[in-house]
A and B are shown apart, each in its own frame.
Chain A
């Protein structure tokens, strides 16, 4: 079965550079969530989109932005990267934008290393 696809799997950037992470949800899933997981930390919610509109915002820095496109894939854009941005970035998708019906499926994550 198709899963949530994230790209790239690994990314190394220098401080102050820009990074773009991509997420392709499960077909027919209309909601995408972005999470950040620092080393040894629990995943922290960044932002979510439902039907291409931002539906909720968590602890996402102003240096980050995201959007969901017409094909429902999403991109997380990160600018002026800092060493503390080094983390695993997960994307999850679900159907109907309502929790509790189908659960959430996570991608394998993008490991971003800022040097």
Chain B
């Protein structure tokens, strides 16, 4: 079964607006990570949040984690056209890094 599932699947916003993407998962985890992928390119690690953390910031990125609801959100503030990409969350399914499971991703389009 899909572990991380992103919501929405596609999001289109204007430059300068904030973009919020959500991720839900089913099993317990040690950590959750967010990745970015430009079309047909590699996955770039954005931010990692551990199961005992509730919020983390990195530049214009803000990630929250609610383990009681098994969900996470990625907020990109003051979006730019260059933020256009697909964003995936990945969880480790509480297996100490033996592998991690990606959700289907949110395709973000930031319009100039």
Contact = CB atoms under 8 A, between A and B. Distances in A.
Nearest to B98: A56
Interface residues of A, number: 28
B97 A94 contact: yes
Interface stretch (B39-47, B65-73, B74-82): B39-47
A7 interface: no
Contacts of B35: 106
Contact of A58 (B30, B99, B103): B99
B88 interface: yes
Interface in A68-115: 88, 90, 92, 94, 97-100, 103-109, 111
A106 B42 contact: yes
B34 to A, nearest CB: 10
